[in-house]
Amino acid sequence: MKTLKNYVQLIGNIGQDVELREFNSGSQKANFSLATSENFTNKNGEKTESTQWHKVVAWGKLANLVSDSLSKGDQVLIQGKLTHRKYEDNNGNTKYFTEIVASEFLKITRN
């Protein structure tokens, strides 16, 4: 159960092509957005869809694999952990980010 303390598993669609960055150190980072949707009937009896957008990041060899394998519209299963970070911009404003750091992925379909 130790591994379930911070575990995320989502199935959704890639919202944009994967952005791959390489750093001076040689490490690589892939960024992309993932949309998850659910359908429900609202209090007025109307069928409604709610979509949530998630920021996903992959590092190292997984970043390369994600970049080579996934593109906008693909349906994918992502496994990883939820992380929070913050930084101060040039104007002194604190910015907060929540991301999923991917550890595995499985491409389900391609649009």
Q: Distance between CA atoms of 101 and 80, rounded to whole angstroms?
A: 5
pLDDT category of residue 2 using cuts at 50, 70 and 90? low
Specify the higher pLDDT residue, 97 or 1.
97
The reported pLDDT for the residue numbered 104 is 97
Domain that holds residue 67: 2-109
Do residues 42 and 59 make contact, with C-beta atoms less than 8 angstroms apart?
no
Q: Supply the CATH number for residue 62's domain.
A: 2.40.50.140
| pLDDT band of 110, cuts 50, 70, 90 | low
Give the mean pLDDT of 5-24: 94
